[in-house]
């Protein structure tokens, strides 16, 4: 990307910010309205949650407090966020999703770096469990272009977390769990007791062991590493029950993914006897994921994005209607060699390394719509 192109993009970003300011002042649009639309889309009753003292919009304020220099960003890069060079002086930071809730989280997170551009592309469904009539889903990708000097985490591998203080470590963990972790509440078959679990996924077992040791030394929290039975599929760092609760107590001011945070908040309220089991089960039900191919929380990122931000401005589109969209991953990540292995979810091409080098020039997908949020 040339300097001229970058400046022109920066000018559009400033214009978008001005337009957003007008919309806030004159039309009453704000992030709470956006968040409400997202929760309604996936079936969450916001008013009832607020009546029980649970704020489902807290994730917005947490992201608003972040900056590019926060260790949370390094955690995100060691999770599911990608950084790659486009030239000796410029870098692209990107993240993509098909998740209904994740799409707004990623858009807000990218704004803490710079006003992002957006790409839509087709992605194949990878699991045979998804057997709906539509074999493909829309992938939404956010990206920004930065000067090398603007990205403070270049060249930082996971061993740097050993030098973090407690606040920095918790912030780092927030970014890592938000982008490549899971938070679940399951019911034990024998006792019917609710079990609270926080997991961090990675293809790098040594990283998980190192992180386990640092967390125990700094926070006194016990966790254990489990390996995937599939060859070279990585593993998980698992915190369970009271240890997971103790970890979340430290993470409350940093964890920002809407669904993950709400799951944790619901269990935390139940754990502190502020929420009865019956109410917990009712609130938790729409947050469960299923694999029947019809889960509204999956594969609906484009729907959520357009509904939560109907005032978007689009430019571009299909330049040739006869051309078929291609898988963005095939275009973006073929022929690459990573400096470090990444998340188990993405195999050897995941994000646990701040940099991935493309051996071949990157070709843009043919189905490409750029959106500047208002």
Per-residue model confidence as pLDDT tens digits over 47-89: 999 999 999 999 999 999 999 999 999 999 999 899 999 999 9
Q: What percent of the chain has pLDDT over 90?
A: 48
Going by pLDDT thresholds of 50, 70 and 90, the confidence category of residue 32 is confident
Task: Give the tens place of pLDDT for each residue, 16-25.
Answer: 555 556 555 5
**Most trustworthy range by pLDDT among 64-68, 96-100, 287-291, 364-368:** 64-68
pLDDT attached to residue 365? 42
Going by pLDDT thresholds of 50, 70 and 90, the confidence category of residue 331 is very low
pLDDT attached to residue 120? 83
pLDDT attached to residue 27? 52
Closest CA relative to residue 219, chosen from 258, 164, 138? 164
Q: Looking at residues 181-193, what average pLDDT do you find?
A: 88
90 exposure class (CB count in 10 Å sphere: 0-12, 13-18, 19+)? middle
Let me know: does 74 contact 175? Beta carbons within 8 Å.
Answer: yes
Going by pLDDT thresholds of 50, 70 and 90, the confidence category of residue 99 is confident
pLDDT exceeds 90 at position 367? no
Let me know: does 360 contact 337? Beta carbons within 8 Å.
Answer: no
d(CA 108, CA 101): 11
Going by pLDDT thresholds of 50, 70 and 90, the confidence category of residue 96 is confident
Going by pLDDT thresholds of 50, 70 and 90, the confidence category of residue 122 is confident
pLDDT exceeds 70 at position 274? yes
pLDDT attached to residue 252? 96
């Amino acid at each position: 990307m040339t300097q001229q192109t970058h400046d022109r993009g920066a000018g559009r970003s400033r214009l978008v910010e001005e337009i957003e300011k007008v919309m806030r002042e004159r039309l009453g649009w704000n992030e709470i309205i956006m968040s409400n639309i997202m929760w309604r889309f996936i079936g969450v009753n916001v008013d009832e949650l607020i009546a029980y003292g649970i704020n489902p919009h807290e994730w917005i304020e947490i992201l608003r407090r972040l900056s590019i220099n926060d260790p949370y960003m390094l955690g995100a890069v060691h999770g599911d966020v990608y950084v790659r060079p486009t030239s000796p002086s410029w870098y692209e930071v990107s993240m993509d999703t098909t998740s209904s809730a994740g799409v707004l989280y990623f858009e807000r997170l990218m704004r803490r770096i710079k006003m992002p551009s957006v790409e839509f592309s087709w992605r194949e469904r990878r699991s045979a469990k998804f057997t709906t009539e539509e074999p493909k889903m829309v992938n939404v990708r956010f990206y920004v272009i930065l000067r090398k000097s603007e990205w403070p985490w270049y060249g930082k591998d996971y061993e740097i977390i050993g030098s973090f203080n407690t606040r920095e470590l918790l912030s780092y963990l927030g970014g890592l769990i938000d982008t490549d972790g899971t938070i679940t509440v399951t019911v034990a078959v024998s006792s019917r007791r609710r079990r609270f679990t926080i997991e961090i996924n990675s293809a790098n077992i040594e990283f998980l062991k190192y992180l386990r040791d640092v967390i125990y030394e700094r926070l006194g929290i016990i966790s254990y590493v489990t390996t995937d039975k599939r060859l070279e599929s990585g593993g998980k760092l698992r915190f369970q029950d009271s240890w997971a609760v103790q970890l979340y107590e430290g993470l409350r001011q940093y964890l920002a993914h809407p669904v993950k945070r709400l799951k944790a908040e619901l269990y935390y309220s139940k754990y502190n006897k502020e929420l009865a089991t019956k109410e917990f089960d009712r609130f938790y039900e729409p947050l469960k994921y299923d694999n029947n191919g019809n889960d509204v929380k999956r594969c609906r990122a484009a729907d959520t994005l357009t509904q939560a931000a109907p005032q978007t401005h689009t430019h571009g589109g299909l330049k040739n209607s006869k051309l078929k969209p291609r898988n963005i991953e095939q275009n973006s990540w073929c022929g690459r060699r990573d400096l470090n292995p990444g998340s188990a979810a993405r195999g050897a091409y995941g994000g646990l390394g701040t940099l991935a080098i493309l051996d071949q020039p990157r070709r843009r997908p043919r189905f490409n719509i750029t959106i500047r949020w208002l």
